[in-house]
Amino acid sequence: MTEFKPDRNKKPLIIRGSVLNDGDFSHALIESKEGIIQAIHQSDDLTELERRTLIVPGFIDIHVHGGGGADVMDGSIEALRTIAETHVKYGTTGWLATTVTVAGADILRVIDAVKQYMPIQSGFKGAECLGIHLEGPFLSPKHRGAQREDLFMLPDLEQFQSWVERAEGIIRMITLAPELEGAERLIRYARENGITVSAGHTDATSRQLNNAAEWGVTHLTHVFNAMRPIHHREPGIIAAACRNGHMTADFIADGIHLHPDTENLLLRLFGHERLILITDAMRAACMGDGLYEIGGLPVTVKQGVARIDNGTLAGSLLTLQRAAQRMTNIHRLRWAEVSRMASYNPARLLGLDRKGGILPGKSADLVGLTSEGDVLWTMVNGELCYENGNNTSGNDQ
């Protein structure tokens, strides 16, 4: 591996706009060098367009299967590049390549593809792949969602260890059903190896989740979807996670997976401090209606909704830009609160100290937005990776 040597003669990049910092927007200049924010200077010397450009931390999507016609399970550098270049247009600067339940050989193929892709991705104009999120195969058949039940497995520590060793540190997260036999050993091993463990596609009771929290489960995957619902005598994992003050949860804010009133309930139960916006996007995201597939299951996308043959929702067509806009428009959240759910919280969940905020020392992962929340430009590690053709705001080198 070639040793990185910073170019000390390189001119700093200056980004101008209304910068979200310390909970509010202020007119400022962001100074970035070698992909790292060096300083933030308050300034009134901005053009009118620059004053109107809202600059927020780049969005981090911890659960995305695909987009632009490509899927993580395609297992190729070309597919990963397509996904990254699709979602960067909508403000995503970091993402986890998320699998579905497939045969072990197919999981190995994805691991190998992501391992090859991550070291070369800086040569492309896309969101940064931060690693792998294994969704399955250790899931409950009672809440299979758009997953292949015939390939589900009980938690198998030896099998999981072989994937972790093959991945060499790039598996960042796993979603599993913690009530299944063998889950405790696997969860403890995952946590020992720095892997975030999330409960999802699960029929766990509140007691079972409390036990799993002691083993190392810290998160819920697409809360309310594919899990035991709340009941007044068996509150299930949602109420248990809410009571566990350190646990976080993510949700699909497309207005399809959850009713707006349910989203509002989540906001009241967990608060924006403990929630994460995800897309759960599949290959049809940003593509339109038609026939697709996910994990070998046929998917029909009609009027912007993806379903497998039995009518079950099959991921989403969501982008994080749209999820953030819904939070501001429908739930009247401030951008500081939305940014926490889209940037800071996922970075904290994954232990990414340099991501999720606009501060000196952080990565220059930035998004320029209109007042309506549309993306003007996206910057990943100090490099402009997407720019709306109508944008002429001032970023200069």
User: What is the C-alpha to C-alpha distance for residues 256 and 59, in angstroms, rounded to an integer?
Assistant: 21
User: What is the C-alpha to C-alpha distance for residues 103 and 152, in angstroms, rounded to an integer?
Assistant: 9
- How far is CA 126 from each of CA 87, 117, 121, 361, 370, rounded to the nearest angstrom? 8, 12, 8, 22, 21
User: What is the C-alpha to C-alpha distance for residues 320 and 345, in angstroms, rounded to an integer?
Assistant: 14
User: What is the C-alpha to C-alpha distance for residues 324 and 277, in angstroms, rounded to an integer?
Assistant: 8
User: What is the C-alpha to C-alpha distance for residues 107 and 75, in angstroms, rounded to an integer?
Assistant: 9
Which pLDDT value is given to residue 23?
87
Average pLDDT value over all residues in the chain: 94
pLDDT digits 0-9 by tens, 222-239: 999 999 999 999 999 999
Which pLDDT value is given to residue 204?
97
In the DSSP assignment, the letter for residue 150 is G
CA neighbours within 13 Å on the CB side: how many for 69?
4
Whether 280 sits among the annotated catalytic residues: the reply is: yes
Write down the pTM of the prediction.
0.94
Which pLDDT value is given to residue 10?
61
Dihedral angle at the C-alpha atoms of 101, 324, 382, 361, nearest 10 degrees? -90
* Residue of 280, 289, 309, 365 marked catalytic: 280
Residue numbers of the chain with a pLDDT score lower than 70: 1-11, 390-397
Which pLDDT value is given to residue 102?
94
Which pLDDT value is given to residue 392?
45
User: What is the C-alpha to C-alpha distance for residues 323 and 266, in angstroms, rounded to an integer?
Assistant: 15
Give the architecture (CATH level 2) of 59-350.
Alpha-Beta Barrel (3.20)
Superfamily covering domain 13-55+360-396:
Urease, subunit C, domain 1 (2.30.40.10)
pLDDT digits 0-9 by tens, 331-378: 999 999 999 999 999 999 999 999 999 999 999 999 999 999 999 999
Which pLDDT value is given to residue 391?
54
Domain boundaries, the chain: 13-55+360-396, 59-350
Q: Give yes or no for a contact between 240 and 265, defined as CB atoms under 8 angstroms apart.
A: no
